[in-house]
Structure 1
């Protein structure tokens, strides 16, 4: 069994720590807030994010990054995308020599427009293998050991095999890929489309509209992924279509929730103020639109959601403008 550091004690980090501990690994769960780490150690539960689940003996909650990383064979990143750079800049000199870095964060860095694995590589250099883990996986279900399947991607096949071997369990299958770009873009942009799907639900536009939105959303994601060097077939798999369907339709989706409330006419600031967890799609939407402009890729749904999120237009008008776009060949 391995020593594994999970960096980030939100719902996803806590859920993944529970999964790894069930497999017999020794897991150190790092919380940015030392008070949260102390409280988790005392309660043996994460009262903020997953209060109903007991932390097994294999999970140690820590508030010091160096303690979490010491001699860890794997380092799993679950912090929000906007915090990845700062955390891994601090982590870089503390990493064990052969540690494999696993990115479980879905998003794009604002400003640089880099994918999360690129941000990690920026900060730690080429000495460590970086593996991306993405797919349809609500934290609350993974935490309870319910069945799920995800994709793990890297240009280092040996690292992927290590992650598959060490992270697989009765409730989790991991499928290998070499398409890091496709897997990460699928995981990032599905959150943008999920906001739009929530808008469709919030406006009461029906099942036909939802099906159309998800299908055309997948087209947008595929366009951008391919422009960046990803493979179209990757977006038909777990990290593309699978994650998109789950996030657009599941009641546990934070991004879908944001869209539903926007569709009801509520201001974004009020919606976010009520949420404990980060809705990655809010920041990713702007970054995705900018990335599309940079690479000459048309992203009509993402562009409309950017306007809605910024308060430049109401949700209903955004849908009307999408429906009024010139008609074209479906495969264009």
Structure 2
């Protein structure tokens, strides 16, 4: 039995907790910074906003006391990217060398442009985290709908340990040593999903979405390669796999926010209505990182103008369509 603590009682944090409990051998605790959220889940037996209709097993401990980390075997970060550094600072006093630390968040830190594993490692003074990433909507993971994810780390033994402890008949984990590629694929696909949602909201069709997804994974891979990732990673679970599910599903907050923007709602209002939209949070950081690395990312650039510079969605699409004709080079 492993003692597992999950930081974050949102949809994905609870989904991973339920999945871990399905293994039947783990002591699972979920932490939230907000006692009111814990009280609400206890009162209703479910997270009515994030996972309506999904019962949280009574065996899962819910707490707002972050000292619950002390002595755990596996510590999982399951929180939005903008809160990762702050929570890592709070967690640091309770970290010890025997813990295996896992990140499931998908994003870039806005000011530093760092991947989330880099942020966590920096704050905790540890290295070789394990990253879980792939097609994994919380709404389906929590209901034990089968899926597969990449389990990535520079430390092969740590990745194998998480694979053995969390993998089950509903969640198949594949080992991967390309942490950079897995994290960038998981973070940047949210940008493309926002764009696909915008096109849906504008009334465009499947051709437009397929084109955006295809060219989107191309520019994601281009930035990934410049940052040291393996290009082949982006044809796998954390690249095209995660991209497909996020661009096409109504579970995707990125797509839903994009639909609202495409219908004429302001980006700020769209995010307010939908909640956490990682593509919105990540877009400017990705654009700045691309400029820093000297990488052209035209889709990301146009979305950044729409989100933060008052750009018009039809004008943005027109600029993409009227770029100079080139070879399709991979």
- Verify same fold: TM over 0.5: yes
What is aligned with 1:23?
23
Give TM-score scaled by structure 2 length.
0.97
Distance 1:300 1:108 in 2: 19
What SS does the aligned partner of 1:325 have? coil
Q: Is the 8 A contact 1:148 1:173 kept in 2?
A: yes
Q: Is the 8 A contact 1:38 1:62 kept in 2?
A: no
Deviation digits for residues 146-192 of structure 1 (CA, Å, limit 9, x no counterpart): 00000011100000000000001111000011000000000000000
Q: Is the 8 A contact 1:7 1:75 kept in 2?
A: yes
What is aligned with 2:216?
217
1:71-220 matches, cutoff 5 A = 71-126=71-126, 129-220=128-219
1:224-263 matches, cutoff 5 A = 224-263=223-262
- 1:60 paired to 2:58: no
What SS does the aligned partner of 2:219 have? helix
What SS does the aligned partner of 1:54 have? coil
What SS does the aligned partner of 1:46 have? coil
Q: Is the 8 A contact 1:265 1:314 kept in 2?
A: no
Distance 1:60 1:326 in 2: 57
Residue-pair matches, total: 329
What is aligned with 2:42?
41
Distance 2:244 2:100 in 1: 30
Q: Is the 8 A contact 1:151 1:176 kept in 2?
A: yes
What SS does the aligned partner of 2:203 have? coil
What SS does the aligned partner of 1:146 have? coil
What SS does the aligned partner of 2:52 have? strand
Q: What is the CA-CA distance between 1:45 and the residue it aligns to?
A: 2.0
Q: Is the 8 A contact 1:26 1:59 kept in 2?
A: yes
Distance 1:222 1:35 in 2: 41
Distance 1:289 1:311 in 2: 13
Distance 1:91 1:330 in 2: 46
Q: What is the CA-CA distance between 1:43 and the residue it aligns to?
A: 3.2
What is aligned with 2:302?
304
Q: What is the CA-CA distance between 1:41 and the residue it aligns to?
A: 3.0
What is aligned with 1:317?
315
What SS does the aligned partner of 1:196 have? helix
Distance 1:53 1:331 in 2: 45
- 1:294 paired to 2:269: no
**Distance change >3 Å, CA 96–CA 41, structure 1 → 2:** farther
My pick for the range that moved more, 221-230 or 265-274, is: 265-274
Instruction: Structure 2: give runs of 5+ residues left out of the alignment.
Output: none
Distance 1:37 1:57 in 2: 13
What is aligned with 1:8?
8
Distance 1:325 1:79 in 2: 38
Q: What is the CA-CA distance between 1:312 and the residue it aligns to?
A: 2.1
